[in-house]
Structure 1
Amino acid sequence: MSFTETTHTSWFTRMKNALWQVLIGVVLLLAALYFLFTNEGRAIQTYRSLVEGAGLVVSIDSAKIDPANEGKLVHITGPVKALGTVSDSDLGVDAEGALAITRDVEMYQWVEKSESKTEKNVGGSEETTTVYSYAKEWRTTPVDSSDFKVPTGHQNPPFAIEDNETVVDAASVGAFTIDGKRVAALANEQRIAMTEGDAIRIAEVIATTKPVKINQGDLYIGISSTSPQIGDMRVRFERSDLSEASFVGAQKGDTIENFKSSNGRGILLSAPGAKDAAAMFEQAQAENTMITWLIRAGGLLALFIGFKMLFGFLGVIGDIIPFVGSIVRGGTTLIALVLTLIIGPVVIAVGWFAYRPLLAIGIIAGGLVLAVLFAWMRRSKAAAEPAATNPTFGRG
């Protein structure tokens, strides 16, 4: 089943919207420039902090706590043990020895999809035709059917049960006590197989009139898992386990906390399994580099979108004659790309220069020296070539 809607937008309305986009574009440009600039400082400060930490860290025996290491940057590796039993108390599912227990829920729901086609008219107006269609899909989050273009016949019921995660308060790593969430984040997840007893108990707890069954170790709320109906649900429970972990941070009593380096950056590293300190700092540096490039890429994309929005009104003006608007939009897209490729790298370079001026000056000076040397070699070669082609012969 589908529903088709046609809307008409006048040129004046489009122009008003385009002018609003100019304002949004300016804000987006300023935000992108800020993040591109400050990202360089963040990356350099983090790099320096990690270099400092790699030179200070001391690997210690996690089996005992030495007061002499109080406040120092230490590295520990040890067996992990949950301090307490984690439980999904609402449904009575326990996981002895686990660091966390997770409840993942899906519901079979109506989903609205739309496809639009826009045609421009002489005079700058637009006519948009949108086709709405509806399909049934498994989704992990509620789909609000009241916002559908055609809600009648496509109503989704509320979730009878929702996602949930319960994490142990703390875990021990050798003789040290670490926050449960930090340790659980390193763990591996494995399914908890449900039993018929679990299905009977949970059916009495949750707000549903549908039968609760076991389906390949998980719960199925509905009549048939092979022929799902709107409102049917699938529920899976998983436990998080970890046998060994490594941490780098400040020793504070019997725990490991954030260590403040000389530039104020914090150091608190963690990894599953037995990892030496050097490998953990190397991994942290790699993550810092990756984050730096992701922010750079995001900033450049935001710059491009901002410039596109800034020039968008020109395309609307050109749409008075449709093919002219397409030409204008192509031109402004090219301009936006060129400005992004010029301004973005310049801002990154300025940000980098602001935090490492001496090195930046050194690189620039080195480049100039190489350029002068290259030019001198070219001139010397050019001067030598005429002498070689015009030899002087003495008298016999």
Structure 2
Amino acid sequence: MAERYRQVERVGFGSRLPSSFVSVFVGLILFLGSFWLLFWNEGRVNLAQVATGAIEISPLGSPSAPLGRLVSLTGPMTSNELLGDHLFLRPGPYIAVSRKAEMYAWEEEKETRTQEEFGGSEVRETIYTYTKVWTENPEDSSRFYRSSEHVNPPMPFSSQLFRVSQAQIGNYRIGMQDLQIETPSAVPLDPQTLIPGIQARVEGSYVFKGRGTLANPQIGDMRTSYTALYSGTQATVFGRLASPNSLESYLGPRNVRFYRLFASDRFAAIERLAAEHTALTWILRFVGFLMMWIGADSFFTPLHTMLSIFPFLSGLGRFMTRVVTFFIALVLTGTTILVSSIVYNPLVLLLCLAVAGVFILNVLGRRPRRQVAGF
């Protein structure tokens, strides 16, 4: 059950006015930063396109690509090493193991509501809500509003990715140091996979350690689960052909490193990269729009503060500026995205020039011709 605490404070007009100018400065940073983010986002390297240009080589036989080129290699990935986490998981036939460690801890949520009063003062009501959650990153409880009643102990161990030092696909050695790895398979927790004599117990799909139970945990209790990439899994690796029999990290366009493993074939891996690129592009576009909108609206904070002497005027002014800045941010975001696309992609520029040329020729072709007298 959540615990809630209420804090109320009154801030006078004399204190609010100087802080409103600070908001303008912060808003200016957000506003200008949004242009940089949108411009950078449109120029991000599409790794799906990079992967499409990779030379596909066979896991057996001699390489069909020159050294230093980006290649893709598909086949069963194996290793002679056994891998565990030296905590609960016994060494086994894994290429990589992801340990997800979660602690039952307090989480603080803060919600502030404001109400302006006649004369420019403001009443701020802050509601602090404390809930118990499973989390990989417990909050620092010393910073809580009610820290003495809600204490998170230090986390005894954390989430971590483990990998073997050497692996191969067919005749090729895969450098493991910088390789981005996914671990798609859950590791069953039984006597064959767990270290004997561990000071913990298995509950469902977790190794549980603490004073409570998984159904009724106590603050500080830990639960751990594992996923892995098993030796022998069919995988596709994109990387640089560093030698006739080894792959390492590839330095792509604009110094973007590309060295990644997918537990799938080449076609599915490229589809995954394309979907990730599209999703992140739209997320960053939305973030850039919000930064621009919030930043633009912050320019009017001093005006809103001065109008708050008469609260009804402040509310009306705040609504109007938010509507206006919304459309301004929308237009500027779209324009920035279009200009950035043209800068980064000459084909888009040529297309725009072609459309403009057709439009101009069409307009000129419709102009009436003057008739010469006597004809």
TM-score (structure 2 length as normaliser): 0.82
Displacement of 1:33 = 1.0
Percent identity over the alignment? 26
C-alpha contact (below 8 Å) 1:171/1:179 kept by paired residues: yes
Q: Equivalent residue for 2:358?
A: 369
Task: Measure the CA separation in 1 of the matches of 2:362 and 2:64.
Answer: 60
Cα gap change, 1:367/1:245 in structure 2, threshold over 3 Å: closer, same or farther?
A: same
Cα-Cα RMSD:
3.5
Displacement of 1:269 = 5.8
C-alpha contact (below 8 Å) 2:101/2:224 kept by paired residues: yes
Q: Equivalent residue for 1:317?
A: 306
Q: Equivalent residue for 1:392?
A: none
C-alpha contact (below 8 Å) 2:89/2:193 kept by paired residues: no
Q: Equivalent residue for 2:122?
A: 126
C-alpha contact (below 8 Å) 1:113/1:134 kept by paired residues: yes
- Determine which of 207, 211, 214 is the counterpart of 1:219: 207
| Number of equivalences | 364
Q: Equivalent residue for 1:271?
A: 262
Q: Determine whether 1:79 maps to 2:76.
A: yes
- Determine which of 161, 175, 180 is the counterpart of 2:176: 180
- Determine which of 71, 95, 98 is the counterpart of 1:99: 95
Task: Measure the CA separation in 2 of the matches of 1:197 and 1:37.
Answer: 49
C-alpha contact (below 8 Å) 1:83/1:168 kept by paired residues: no
C-alpha contact (below 8 Å) 2:175/2:248 kept by paired residues: no
Cα gap change, 1:186/1:130 in structure 2, threshold over 3 Å: closer, same or farther?
A: closer
Q: Determine whether 1:163 maps to 2:159.
A: yes
- The letter for the 2-side match of 1:142 is P
- CA deviations on 1:45-98 (whole Å, 9 max, x unpaired) are x58x937x756x443221234487333443321111135222212x26324111
Displacement of 1:148 = 2.5
Displacement of 1:264 = 6.5
Displacement of 1:101 = 2.4
- CA deviations on 1:120-179 (whole Å, 9 max, x unpaired) are 111211111223343333333223332222233332322233333322223211111223
Cα gap change, 1:378/1:300 in structure 2, threshold over 3 Å: closer, same or farther?
A: farther
Q: Equivalent residue for 1:255?
A: 246
Q: Equivalent residue for 1:19?
A: 21
Structure 2 spans left out of the alignment, 5+ residues: 370-375
Displacement of 1:321 = 0.7
Residues 270-289 of structure 1: matches in 2 within 5 Å? 270-276=261-267, 284-285=273-274, 287-289=276-278
Displacement of 1:284 = 4.3
- Determine which of 107, 111, 129 is the counterpart of 2:107: 111
Find the structure with the greater CA-based Rg. Answer: 1
Q: Equivalent residue for 2:38?
A: 36
C-alpha contact (below 8 Å) 1:222/1:233 kept by paired residues: no
Displacement of 1:20 = 1.0
Displacement of 1:326 = 0.8
TM-score (structure 1 length as normaliser): 0.78
Question: Which one is further off, 76-85 or 60-69?
Answer: 60-69
C-alpha contact (below 8 Å) 1:5/1:131 kept by paired residues: yes
Q: Determine whether 1:292 maps to 2:281.
A: yes
C-alpha contact (below 8 Å) 1:124/1:321 kept by paired residues: yes
C-alpha contact (below 8 Å) 1:10/1:125 kept by paired residues: yes
Task: Measure the CA separation in 2 of the matches of 1:235 and 1:290.
Answer: 30
Structure 1 spans left out of the alignment, 5+ residues: 204-211, 381-396
- Determine which of 114, 122, 133 is the counterpart of 1:137: 133
SS of the residue 2:118 aligns to? coil
Displacement of 1:320 = 1.3
Task: Measure the CA separation in 1 of the matches of 2:279 and 2:324.
Answer: 29
Question: Which one is further off, 242-251 or 285-294?
Answer: 285-294
Displacement of 1:194 = 4.4
- CA deviations on 1:328-366 (whole Å, 9 max, x unpaired) are 111111221122122222222222333445652542442
- Determine which of 4, 7, 30 is the counterpart of 1:5: 7
C-alpha contact (below 8 Å) 1:100/1:239 kept by paired residues: yes
Displacement of 1:119 = 1.2
Task: Measure the CA separation in 2 of the matches of 1:263 and 1:274.
Answer: 27
Displacement of 1:281 = 5.1
Q: Which has the higher helix share?
A: 1
Q: Determine whether 1:246 maps to 2:236.
A: yes
Task: Measure the CA separation in 1 of the matches of 2:120 and 2:90.
Answer: 64
Cα gap change, 1:379/1:39 in structure 2, threshold over 3 Å: closer, same or farther?
A: farther
- The letter for the 1-side match of 2:81 is G
Task: Measure the CA separation in 2 of the matches of 1:289 and 1:196.
Answer: 42
